[in-house]
């Protein structure tokens, strides 16, 4: 705190004056985090029911992750990919082993991982499938969310994400999510890949119809088309499995990972998958100055070690089932969707809704986020049952 910035109002005024207005945060100014809790400038504590959109799966400042980061900070933080470093190969091997894949392309943000997967799929289509140069298409689902880059919003169906940001990148076909017949009709000889979220996050934690993802896999096999799964939000234990596709016994050719891979400390992402697909990249064709840097790799390795025990997957399964049951019984709740510790609560008509719900929850010491007309419930996986009850009790009070 400085002399001219002392209160919540001061900090918010500073943000409003000097930062771009591309977000509309709740009027809370946070300074500390520990486990499932955060503290604001006035010393008030809040239960975190958002977990940084899955970036904080392991909670705030998990001691193993902080220790790994501090140890690496004392050694080496950045080399660029012009040189090898001692964390890189270990990180790639350990992440591949965790996810049951063969090769890893490290990056930074989730959007960068998705963009990289798009590039890989196109190059594979030209080099391996034999698609005419410049003709490759990628099929995506409506109501998707894969990031905010110009190419990614080119295949978004969200007007707010697209309006006045064109012209857009060609080469994408959009079909309804969960509709295997529409997908089948869209696949052609020029199809490089089908890119899907196994569970659509920003659309309202939408779980596809049972068997749909297996049908997507079979369709891709039958047509020599890659299946690319965006598991930036759904992956790394959020749904109760290491990867959300694991619930269906389905394997993708490529996965985009991010958010939780950085342990809530820094942006870490990756494309993981088949070696013969990622292997189409040759030196000089793709790169990232910070992708796979020593600090990121050290943190990522610590994340992999936490996930390798299965503890967080189990916590998400058990606490998620409990949370879904309790939320579904609340007065004023029309529907609960999701999987694991990831739920979308649809508020019944005539009840307090939208941002007002989030504001009322904040008043009760619970930080959550409304979106798509629903309430997102996605606490850190370190949350206890008692803490979960506390947050759900607050939701019950607001909706009563």
**The domain 8-61+311-399 is classified under which CATH number: 3.90.1150.10, 3.30.450.150, 3.30.70.3270, 3.40.50.970?**
3.90.1150.10
Q: Say if residue 284 is exposed, middle or buried (CB neighbours under 10 Å; 0-12, 13-18, 19+).
A: exposed
Give the pLDDT confidence of 337-393 residue by residue, as tens digits. 999 999 999 999 989 888 999 999 999 999 999 987 789 999 999 999 999 999 999
Given a contact cutoff of 8 angstroms between Cβ atoms, the answer to whether 91 and 292 are in contact is yes
Q: Tokens standing for 84?
A: 């090898």
Tell me the C-alpha distance between 72 and 50, whole Å: 28
Nearest Cα neighbor of 111 from 246, 321, 258, 3 is 258
145 is catalytic: yes
Q: Which of 40, 230, 246, 253 is catalytic?
A: 230
Q: What pLDDT score does 373 carry?
A: 73
Q: Using CA atoms of 216, 220, 225, 229 in order, give the dihedral in degrees to the nearest 10.
A: 40
- pTM for this entry: 0.98
- Element (H or E) spanning 194, and its range? strand 191-196
Task: Determine the Cα angle at 266 with ends 112 and 381, to 5°.
Answer: 100
Measured CA to CA in angstroms, residue 293 lies from 51, 81, 249, 279, 351 at distances of 24, 8, 33, 20, 48
Give the pLDDT confidence of 263-289 residue by residue, as tens digits. 999 999 999 999 999 999 999 999 999
Q: What is the fold of 76-308?
A: 3.40.640
- Element (H or E) spanning 335, and its range? strand 333-338
Q: What pLDDT score does 305 carry?
A: 99
Q: Tokens standing for 270?
A: 């990756």
Task: Determine the Cα angle at 100 with ends 94 and 84, to 5°.
Answer: 35
Give the bridge partners for 90, in sequence order.
none
253 is catalytic: no
Q: Tokens standing for 61?
A: 């400042």
Q: Tokens standing for 328?
A: 């579904």
CATH 3.90.1150.10 in the chain, residue ranges: 8-61+311-399
Residues 48-77, mean pLDDT to the nearest whole number: 98
- Strand pairing report for 254-257 and 226-230: parallel
Q: Which of 88, 145, 155, 290 is catalytic?
A: 145
DSSP 38-62: EEETTS-EEEESSGGGGTTTT-BT-
Which residues are CB-contacts of 230 (< 8 A; sequence separation ≥ 6)?
Answer: 110, 114, 117, 144, 146, 195, 196, 197, 255, 256
- The 374-377 sheet, strands edge to edge: 333-338, 343-347, 374-377, 369-371
- Element (H or E) spanning 255, and its range? strand 254-257
Q: What pLDDT score does 352 carry?
A: 87
Give the pLDDT confidence of 217-239 residue by residue, as tens digits. 999 999 999 999 999 999 999 99
pLDDT at 3 over 90: no
Q: What pLDDT score does 2 carry?
A: 64
Angle between helix 355-363 and helix 385-399 axes, rounded to 10 deg: 120
Tell me the C-alpha distance between 262 and 109, whole Å: 9
Which residues are CB-contacts of 396 (< 8 A; sequence separation ≥ 6)?
Answer: 330, 331
230 is catalytic: yes
Q: What pLDDT score does 353 carry?
A: 83
Q: Which of 88, 259, 290, 369 is catalytic?
A: 259
Q: Tell me if residue 141 falls in helix, strand or coil.
A: strand
- Element (H or E) spanning 73, and its range? helix 63-73
Q: What pLDDT score does 23 carry?
A: 95
């Amino acid at each position: 705190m400085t002399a001219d910035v002392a209160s919540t109002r001061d900090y918010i005024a500073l943000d409003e004056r000097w930062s771009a207005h591309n977000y509309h945060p709740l009027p809370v100014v946070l300074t500390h985090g520990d486990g499932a809790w955060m503290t604001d400038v006035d010393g008030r504590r809040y239960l975190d029911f958002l977990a940084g959109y899955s970036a904080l799966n392991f909670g705030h400042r998990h001691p193993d992750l902080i220790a790994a980061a501090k140890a690496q900070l004392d050694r080496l933080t950045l080399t660029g990919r012009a040189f090898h470093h001692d964390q890189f190969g270990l990180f790639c091997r350990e992440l591949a082993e965790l996810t049951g894949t063969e090769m890893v392309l490290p990056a930074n943000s989730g959007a960068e991982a998705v963009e990289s997967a798009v590039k890989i799929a196109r190059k594979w289509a030209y080099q391996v499938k034999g698609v005419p140069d410049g003709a490759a298409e990628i099929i995506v689902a409506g109501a998707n969310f894969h990031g905010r880059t110009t190419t990614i919003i080119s295949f978004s169906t969200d007007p707010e994400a697209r309006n006045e940001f064109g012209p857009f990148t060609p080469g994408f076909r959009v079909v309804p999510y969960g509709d295997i017949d529409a997908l089948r009709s869209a696949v052609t000889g020029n199809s490089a890949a089908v890119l899907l979220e196994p569970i659509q996050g920003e659309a309202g934690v939408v779980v596809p119809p049972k068997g749909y993802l297996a049908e997507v896999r079979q369709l891709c096999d039958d047509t020599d088309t890659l299946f690319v799964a965006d598991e930036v939000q759904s992956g790394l234990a959020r749904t109760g499995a290491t990867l959300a596709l694991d619930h269906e016994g389905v394997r993708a050719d490529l996965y985009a990972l991010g958010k939780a891979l950085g342990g809530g400390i820094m942006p870490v992402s990756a494309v993981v998958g088949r070696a013969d697909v990622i292997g189409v990249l040759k030196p000089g064709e793709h790169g990232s100055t910070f992708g796979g840097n020593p600090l990121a790799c050290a943190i990522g390795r610590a994340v992999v070690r936490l996930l390798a025990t299965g503890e967080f997957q189990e916590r998400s399964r058990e606490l998620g089932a409990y949370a879904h049951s309790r939320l579904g019984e609340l007065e004023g709740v029309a529907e609960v969707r999701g999987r694991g510790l990831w739920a979308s609560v649809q508020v019944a008509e005539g009840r307090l809704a939208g941002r007002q719900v989030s504001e009322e929850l904040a008043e009760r010491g619970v930080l959550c986020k409304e979106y798509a007309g629903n309430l997102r419930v996605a606490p850190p996986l370190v949350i206890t049952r008692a803490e979960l009850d506390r947050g759900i009790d607050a939701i019950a009070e607001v909706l009563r």
